[in-house]
Structure 1
Amino acid sequence: MSHEKPDYDIFADLEKYELKESKIYEHYTGVGHHFCYNILISFSNSMDAVKLCNEFVYFYTLLNSEYGNTAANDTIHKYPEFLNYWLNRQFRARSISVTPKSEFYQHLINNYKNFEAENKLNNKIYDIDEFYFNKLNSLYEFYKIIHELKRNNSSNCNKFLEQFKKNYTPAWKKCFSGVDADFCNALERFRKIYEQNKNSILSVCNTEESLRLPQLLPPPSYQSSDGEAQKIGNSLIHGIHNVTTSGLPKINASEYSQLHELISQRYNFLLVYTEDEKRSNMLTILQEFFQYCSRNRENSNLLSFYKEFLREYYIKNKGEYDKIYNECYTSSESMKSYCSIYKGFSEQLKKSILSIKKIEEKDLEDEAKILQWFISNFSSDSIVLQLEKENNPLSNITPILVGTLVGALLILFFLYKFSPFGPWLHREITKSEKTMYIFDDKNNQYLFENNSKIEMDNKENSNFHLSYNPG
């Protein structure tokens, strides 16, 4: 089995390939190449293996005669890669008993010259690793559904949404669990083809509701991206211990299933649902988020996760949430299942939802507003104290003031001790004792007339020394 990554971009011409494939079963007589029958002699008693060998050779002949000379930039030029996928798919579907499987593929390779395939199939045919085959198979199923609907096969309409939910959702999630960007690119190309053909599909199925597929980018591994690794939500779902590096308890999938899935998909909400299902899940996400916050309201680290959730998810989906609020809050007659979920919320939860409803994208830059909404919903003594500590201006400038004051005192001390400024300051302080000056004659007279009182107050008969400075 080869661990080589296959080319995922091989299904754009699936209609043409299937048309050729149908001719195998219409015209194949069972008479094939001699080397295919050698399989029975060499390593297998399976006639299924012989039949598959002959069908493979015939299919190659049909494709090569039609598309062998196409330009390299034409998608149909990839028919050898598709042929290899077809062979792997048939081998698995028919449960052919060849062990190891590699012997079957090697037998074909050794006999390329017998059907003139050396140049076209060289290094193209091999046993695809199961990991990659499953991804290829998912893409095949998606394209097959689209082509059947384009052929006005309305019998598939009832299974249309079911098939995409069954196959597309797991495939989409794989873009967040590995580093196979090529697969995600192929999935995005399929999404664009679907969008281009959506109107014709809907006309066949005679439905007004459009199945919306999420736009897919080729994301790297959730754990390998530095920016993603730093997200609080990432630590809350991937942490090993109950208390994560962010200081908050883990978000367990068993208790917060929708919230856990949302964060595991980098806050991307999978839209492969009917409107009712999608909005029900959106309300469940919000419910689980507020439940988690309420249970951890004493944790001073909660604010950071609160802001991340708003920034990465809620604001991006606010328009859809506003539609839910308007229908469920203002209309008591709505029969939608998501409105039943909303009406079942506690009064405190409804209060929290109405509070978060007012948040706009521009408010994310306003720390005061975010704090106001946060405290109104999850205020507790520990959080308030922490917020006061983090946001009190005095707490931020106090170290600066103390440092400045100490520095000033040290500078004055050195100036006093080791510069001319010190002796001058000393002379000014100790310059002369306090002196009482003789006032004018009128004041002099008043002083002596009241001398007796002064003596009475001077119980120790201390002498007064009056300094006289003549004018």
Structure 2
Amino acid sequence: MSHRYIIVIVFLTTLLLKATPIFAEHFKYEIFQNLTEYRKNEGLIDLKEYTAETSFCGDPKSPLKSNSGEVDICKRFVILFKRLNPSEDTAAERSDDHPAAPNSSATPQHTAFLNYWLSTQLRDKNIPENLRHLFYLHLKTHYDKFKGKYKLTDQFHPIESAHLEKLDILHELYRQYYELKNNKLGGREKKEGDRDEGCLNFLRNCKDNYNKGLEKCLPQADNNFCTALNRFRNLYEENKASFSAACQNKKLPSLPEIASLRLPKAVTGGTPKIGGDLVQAEQSSSTHQLPKIVDDVVFSSFFFNKNAHALGMLLLCYSQSVYPNLYKLLLLQYTSLFEYDEEKIKNNLMEVLHEFLKYYNLNRGNSSVDLFIKEFFYDYYKNKKEEYEKIYAECSNKKPLTSYCKLYYRCNDQLRDDLFSIKEDVAKYLGDKAKSYQQALSGNPPTETEMHKIGRSSLISLHRFAIVSTVIGVFFFLFSIYEVCKNCLKMYILFMCML
């Protein structure tokens, strides 16, 4: 290979690398609508066909250097390309020697899928990044040998690993969906008794991949990927009722709707959503002056108003994973993760509510907590209200035998009240209680009605905290005096030794 040829390859590869980020900003994920056709044609690949078109793959002068694994990938790509993307002379291409899969057709989306297919093949064979770009360039250079109706244009280049992971998620979702739809779970026809197990496998796979998708699209604000994930959800929701043949005794649950394809800011462009602000880990306190909720550490604040002549102080209490479910919910902008087990669904609902009430209790002295209450109940609770009220009704009349009923009673402990009795407007109850509590902290005695809202136990807790805070303050004061005296004694002894 001449030096001039090497220089040209390096130059073109550099241009390709620079062009990739531009494409990444407008990445398209919706390439699996025809996955059944793609998989059929992939299964028909025979390395003995299209020998003329694949001859350049084994060229000793090529970047593949006659590596058998890389040469096979090159040949398989060309053959799959020809099957999915015939030349203009379709009749000549489709002869008895080169049969196509049923219903095969040529569309621009095929090129996008082939790009994904090739990127996964190179990744799975551990081909280095720099050689992947040369591999693509080699195919483009010899495109005239296997050209089809649609060219290898902007959609054809190595896919960045971040996008490839998201495409893998969508690929798995569509693959399992079409296998379930065709009643071929696991790649073969199932017997009557195997159908429920196959359906359960589908639900497990769907839970794993759909939740991975939610965790990548919402926190990363990847609207294109969120849209593609939501399109799969719509396809699933429209057709799940027709899967009775594959799931005789298993009703398919709904996938959580991605209600907001946006950054964690209000649509109006105003202040950020409180929930999104609370899980941003840049500072220990949010822009709303509420303590942050982070993945492994929670900052909890207690306020005393200086005007009340009480001890003005801010205590930060650290606790490992106190709010894991609430954190996840806020990170996903109030979109719940998918779950198909009914008891786990109820348990997850009560876990979120219990953690919210814990956070509320620790921060009800903060005037901004009322905004968080309103947002939480508007963006999340109202969509789950019916499910919550069913749990309240079920658990209020029996002993806490189930895990979610145990959580129901723990929520009651946080409230010092019964959820079932205040189910009509829990948000108003919490807001009124927080307002009365803040008035008590400010030194304005609550009215008799407000005292009833706070509850005797809450007032006792408030007085207890005042006493504890004072004791802590005295302790630190005495400790400081001790340290000063100890240092003075050391200096006196040193001075005497020097004499």
TM score, norm. by length of structure 2: 0.67
**Deviation for aligned residue 1:282:** 1.0
Q: CA RMSD in A?
A: 3.4
How far did 1:335 drift?
A: 5.3
Q: Cα offset for 1:77?
A: 4.2
Write the distance in 1 (CA, Å) between the matches of 2:281 and 2:155.
42
Q: Show the counterpart of 2:45.
A: 24
Give the letter aligned to residue 23 of structure 1.
L
Whether 1:35 and 2:56 are equivalent positions in the alignment is: yes
Would you say the 8 A contact 1:44–1:97 is kept in 2?
A: no
Deviates more, 1:148-157 or 1:288-297: 148-157
Q: What are the within-5 Å matches in structure 2 for residues 241-252 of structure 1? A: 241-252=283-294
User: Structure 2 matches for 1:210-229, cutoff 5 A?
Assistant: 210-217=252-259, 219-222=261-264, 227=269, 229=271
- Distance apart, 1:113 and its partner CA: 0.5
Following TM superposition, by how much is the alpha carbon of 1:215 offset from its aligned partner in structure 2, in angstroms?
Answer: 1.9
CA distance in 1, matches of 2:443, 2:277: 24
Instruction: Give 2:41's aligned amino acid.
Output: K
- In structure 2, the residue matched to 1:413 is none
CA deviation after TM superposition for structure 1 residue 107, in Å: 0.1
**Equivalent position SS for 1:238:** coil
1:353 aligns with 2:419: yes
Counterpart of 1:260 in structure 2 is 327
* Secondary structure, aligned partner of 2:59: helix
Paired with 2:56 and 2:108, the residues of 1 have a C-alpha distance of 27
What amino acid is the match of 2:151?
A: K
- The counterpart of 1:284, out of the listed 329, 346, 351, is 351
Deviation string, structure 1 residues 91-138 (Cα, Å, up to 9, x no partner) = 212333574310000000000011124852233321111121111121
* 1:228 Cα deviation from its structure 2 partner: 7.2
Contact 2:111–2:155 (CA under 8 A) maintained in structure 1: yes
SS across alignment from 2:183: coil
Which range moved further: 180-189 or 306-315? 306-315
What are the equivalent positions in structure 2 for 1:314-393 lying under 5 Å apart?
314-332=381-399, 336-343=402-409, 347-349=413-415, 351=417, 353-354=419-420, 356-359=422-425, 371-374=431-434, 381-382=440-441, 385=444
Q: After the TM superposition, which of the residue ranges 342-351 and 207-216 deviates more from structure 2?
A: 342-351
Contact residue 218 and residue 261 of structure 2 kept, 8 A: yes
Deviation (angstroms), 1:28? 5.1
Q: 1:41-70 CA deviation, whole Å, 9 max, x = no partner?
A: 54535211101111111111111239998x
Report the Cα distance in structure 2 between the residues aligned to 1:310 and 1:198, rounded to whole angstroms. Answer: 30
Provide the rounded CA distance (Å) in 2 between the counterparts of 1:295 and 1:317: 24
Q: TM-score, normalised by structure 1?
A: 0.71
Distance (Å, rounded) in 2 between the aligned partners of 1:234 and 1:92: 35
Deviation string 1:242-281 (CA, Å, 9 cap, x unpaired) is 3333222222332211111112222222343422112111
Aligned residues between the structures: 377
Kept after mapping to 2: 8 A contact 1:43/1:98? no
Give the distance between the partners of 2:350 and 2:67, measured in 1 at CA: 56
Matches within 5 A, 1:103-252: 103-117=134-148, 119-155=150-186, 156-217=198-259, 219-222=261-264, 227=269, 229-238=271-280, 240-252=282-294
Distance 2:252 2:432 in 1: 40
Q: Which residue of 1 aligns with 2:83?
A: 62
Greater Rg by CA: 1
The letter for the 2-side match of 1:143 is Y
SS of aligned partner of 2:425: coil
Letter in structure 2 aligned against 1:61:
K
Aligned amino acid, residue 417 of structure 2: K
Shift of 1:225: 5.8
Aligned-pair distance for 1:204?
0.5
One-letter amino acid matched to 2:137:
Q
Deviation of 1:19 after TM superposition, in Å, equals 1.1
Match of 1:396 in 2: none
Aligned: 1:303 with 2:364:
no
Q: Could you tell me how far 1:300 is from its partner in structure 2?
A: 3.3
Q: Which runs of 4+ in 1 moved over 6 A?
A: 29-32, 66-69
**Secondary structure of 1:339 counterpart:** helix
| Structure 1 residues 292 and 383: alpha-carbon distance in aligned structure 2, compared to 1, 3 A threshold | farther
Are 2:31 and 2:113, in contact at CA under 8 Å, matched by a contact in 1? Answer: yes
CA distance in 2 between partners of 1:218 and 1:66 (Å): 43
Query: Does 2:120 correspond to 1:89?
Result: yes
Amino acid in structure 2 at the alignment position of 1:382: L
CA 159–75 in structure 1, closer or farther in 2 if over 3 Å, else same: farther
| Counterpart for residue 460 of structure 1 | none
**What is the alpha-carbon distance in structure 1 between the residues aligned to residue 445 and residue 329 of structure 2?**
29
Specify the code of the residue in structure 1 equivalent to 2:74: C
Give % identity: 31
Shift of the 260–58 alpha-carbon distance from structure 1 to 2, 3 Å rule, reads same
User: Deviations 1:344-387 (Å, cap 9, x if unpaired)?
Assistant: 55634462634651218xx87xxxx77535457x5661268499
C-alpha contact 1:39 1:50 (8 A) present in aligned 2 = no
Structure 1 residues 383 and 202 mapped into 2: Cα distance closer, same or farther (>3 Å)?
Answer: farther
Q: Measure, in 2, the Cα distance between the counterparts of 1:89 and 1:174.
A: 19
